[in-house]
Amino acid sequence: MLNVLAVFFGGGIGAVTRYLTGLMIMLKFHCNLPVATFLVNVTGSFIIGFLYILFIDRPEINPALKFLLTVGFCGGLTTFSTFSLEMFEMLKNAEFLQAFSYGFLSVIICVISVWIGVNCAKLCI
């Protein structure tokens, strides 16, 4: 039950962080690109890569904390459904180059962000 509560609270914090990031990006940059979704997905990928190594090297860390940060926070922060809707909108509007670029770069850069997070954690631990 503690793990479920940890996911619940972590997810809420991650979702609110994503929402506020979207608001800040919209106020600061008035562009038609899904910058906020891209930013939270790349950031969440880095964080989960970092945590992956941290939790492997420190098995004594409470499992509820692990769930709060990974499944909860990172799961609430990052968003595949919004990414998919944005891709759909671009394709519907015949913005094929933009859709391809966004999809390709999102996947590649997020995987690279996990790798960077993993390697940063290895340097810190």
pLDDT in tens, 93-105: 999 999 999 999 9
pLDDT value of position 1:
95
Tell which residue, 71, 63, 81, 84, has the closest CA to residue 13. 71
> Distance of CA 75 to CAs 26, 36, 66, 72, Å?
22, 15, 12, 5
What one-letter code names the amino acid at 118?
V
Along the 125 residues of the chain, how does pLDDT read in single tens digits?
A: 999 999 999 999 999 999 999 999 989 888 778 999 999 999 999 999 999 999 999 999 999 999 999 999 999 999 899 999 999 999 999 999 999 999 999 999 999 999 999 999 999 98
pTM: 0.91
Question: CA 30 to CA 98: how far, in whole Å?
Answer: 17
